[in-house]
Amino acid sequence: MTESEIRLVRHSDLEQASLLEKASYADPAEVAGFDLLKYRLEEAPELFLGCFEEDRLIGLVSATRYHGSRLTEESVKVHIPQGASVCIHSVVVHEKKQRQGIGLRMVRHFIQHVKECQRDVFRILLVCHAQYIPLYTRAGFTFVGNSDYKQGGGKWFDMEMSL
């Protein structure tokens, strides 16, 4: 098995990030797309981590800060640098690398990174489909309940971690 490294995503990684995210979502409406990922990387580069094997991106966590206490349709499109919440928008792992603990490792790394590098953050928020609730609870998130979030198809659930 090749050794992997988790680090900040760079502008030179953006094309790989966009392709990885596009390939990772069954519903195209759930894909952020190149322009939104570019916005997140430009506005909140400290909240965009990737897992790399050599120079190949195999997973990513993308987030922004927001002033609200729930992740909303608005929160996925903006970054409010002084926001009290960090909102995780994407956690994806390359299809051939799934079920190897990479997603959990990235999320735990991201949480530690936020605790060390982000000031005045009170919580980390995310929404997920039902099959991912166990992953996020293992990472330390609390299940909040049904979400009002409507992006794409399927039912979403709110998850939160108080810091």
Is 90 exceeded by the pLDDT of residue 2? no
Q: What is the pLDDT of residues 87-146, one digit of tens each?
A: 999 999 999 999 999 999 999 999 999 999 999 999 999 999 999 999 999 999 999 999
> Quick check: 50 and 9 in contact, CB under 8 A?
yes
List of residues 6+ apart from 158 with CB closer than 8 A: 70, 71, 125, 126, 127, 143, 144, 145, 146, 147, 149
DSSP-derived 3-state class of residue 16: helix
Regarding pTM above 0.85, the answer is: yes
Is 70 exceeded by the pLDDT of residue 1? no
In whole angstroms, give the CA distance from residue 159 to residue 5: 26
DSSP label at residue 22: H
In whole angstroms, give the CA distance from residue 144 to residue 60: 24
Which band of pLDDT confidence, cut at 50, 70 and 90, is reported for residue 29? Answer: confident
In whole angstroms, give the CA distance from residue 91 to residue 163: 20
pLDDT value of position 93: 96
